[in-house]
Structure 1
Amino acid sequence: MREEVYNFWQMCDSKYPLNVVMSGISYCDKNYRIERHGQNLFSFEYIIDGSGVLEINSQTVYPQKNDVYILTRDSDHVYYSSEDHPWTKIWVVFYGEFAEYLFKQYLPADTYIVKDCSILSYMNEIINISSASNKSYSELIDEVSVMLLKIVLHLKNHLEHKVLSAAEQIKLCLDVNIENKLDMDDVCIQLGYSKNHIIKLFRETYGITPYAYFRKHKVELAKHYLLNTHLTINEISVKLNFADQHYFSSTFSDIVGIPPSKYRKSNKTER
């Protein structure tokens, strides 16, 4: 893994209405994983490419290319890249009264992801500001404050005016039910489309059937549980609502190439 990081921890001071802790660009690998609990920090992280998982305050979302995920103050969160297509992302970590104001005034509570919303130009400008050697910390704060305001307003407008396409609605339905048992008939009823129409729309947009997408992402989540929890194979099968352990193992082997027990053993050995 490779990162470009600009660190300002040592300059932070409570007298400022905003403190920029760090900013940077991360070229993640399959082992990238960050976990925090109850820290007084905010973060905007824009996905330039790749996919992964964010678990935050009992919600699970799946940030991918062109999405923004948001880490909020005092949250419990863990996030990690997918093994097959790790993130490349650009990010900024900050805190202070001005940050509190921005989030309270402009963003709905419990907003942790904004889909398909490019803020790359703003984030690139933050990196340019951070890397400038001729700026004092107070100058940096002033300039980053302006960019954060622009980002928050951009996110607010996107959330208020974004109308999801039919394919995006289908994908959202699949994503929020990834741990549940979901039948295509349920999706048809919820969205008001025929099964054939849903399959056609989804495949045209994402190049995969809804069923294959749902199955693949269940297995991605299973990989996380295998490597980062002590749950048994059967407990993971139950948690992800597979019919039984045998079907879970069969599905996992079809997609990954090895059964879950072997995947857990071989990858933990590598670590």
Structure 2
Amino acid sequence: MEYTVGFLPSQFPNRERFYVEMTGITYPDVNYHIAREHSARYCLEYVIQGKGHVQCGQTFFQPKAGDVYLLPAGLRHNYRSDPKDPYQKIWVNLMGSLVDSLYQQYNLGYRYHYPDCDAYPLFRAFLSMCEDNRKQPTTVAAKGALMIHEIFEQLSDDIPSGITNDILYARQAKEYIEQHAEEPITVPQIAEHVGLSTSQLNRVFQAEYGVTPHKFYVESRMNLACLLLRNTALQVKEIAEQLQFSDEHYFSASFKRVMGITPKQYRMQVAM
């Protein structure tokens, strides 16, 4: 069961900059489950009680009461209630270039999960503001942008003081790779996105994750291929096309090089 306050894109004249799609409260429900591939929205949520299970890109965590999590746009969002202790949460779904900018400026790509974050009053105030201005979306846009700024600022204060610029660059590169795992991208493209040279990116990424960005990218694509092989009825050729490989044979060879077996063998193995 959910209580929601939502707005249509047409109600926000400058929606490309800032748009509140929806906000509300989700009440405990053991069957609650949301899954989005390459989400178009940021999901910002505070857990009031209970527990949940969340996947963002290739990162998994289990938020509990008092925790906040922020799932950025462009990644896979998959979250559900804990079956034994389903969570109640207050949340907001956001879009727009202003949200992108604040997310980058506050270096929130460092992590998605903020344990024991005293942000409930800010979430409650945001929901109340939207309730009071259902018919005045321009007010929601103006006040909402300031309130999201305040929430993001509080989340940034929760980032450990020992986090260096190198770690932040590595995390930004990892997030970019996860966002573009379905596409053919190069290490120079990743380096340009985070503002480093290729050699600098290789150094900071390997220091943080123990692998090169190229290897992480290849493994991310194969993990996505495994997900499609397990959870869909798509043919191998169709998966190759979705991941933008030049042809099925090149995809199968790449898959075997990483996984040790062909896509067809993998599908048969997980079906047993």
Q: For the superposition of Structure 1 and Structure 2, which TM-score range results when normalised by the shorter chain?
A: 0.5 to 0.7
Q: 1:74 to 1:16 in 2, by over 3 A?
A: closer
- Quick check: 2:28–2:87 contact (8 Å CA) kept in 1? yes
How far, CA to CA, are the matches of 1:82 and 1:15 in structure 2? 34
Report Cα offsets for 1:99-145 as digits up to 9, x if no partner: 01110000342521111102111101111111114751111111111
Per the alignment, residue 32 of structure 1 pairs with 32
Alignment of 1:257-268 (within 5 A): none
* Structure 2 gaps, min length 5: 163-229, 233-272
SS in 1 for 2:160: helix
SS in 1 for 2:20: strand
Alignment of 1:217-256 (within 5 A): none
Q: Does 1:124 align with 2:138?
A: no
SS in 1 for 2:64: coil
AA matched with 1:140: V
Percent sequence identity is 25
Residue 97 of structure 1: how far off its partner (Å): 1.1
RMSD: 2.1
How far, CA to CA, are the matches of 1:78 and 1:15 in structure 2? 25
* Structure 1 gaps, min length 5: 163-227, 231-271
- Quick check: 2:5–2:134 contact (8 Å CA) kept in 1? no
- Quick check: 2:12–2:138 contact (8 Å CA) kept in 1? no
SS in 2 for 1:86: coil
Q: Does 1:5 align with 2:1?
A: no
Q: Does 1:54 align with 2:49?
A: no
TM-score (norm 1): 0.57
- Quick check: 2:51–2:62 contact (8 Å CA) kept in 1? yes
- Quick check: 1:8–1:20 contact (8 Å CA) kept in 2? yes
SS in 2 for 1:47: strand
Per the alignment, residue 99 of structure 1 pairs with 99
AA matched with 1:47: V
TM-score (norm 2): 0.56
Aligned length, in residue pairs: 164
Q: Does 1:65 align with 2:79?
A: no
Q: 1:114 to 1:15 in 2, by over 3 A?
A: closer
How far, CA to CA, are the matches of 1:43 and 1:131 in structure 2? 19
AA matched with 1:81: S
Report Cα offsets for 1:240-267 as digits up to 9, x if no partner: xxxxxxxxxxxxxxxxxxxxxxxxxxxx
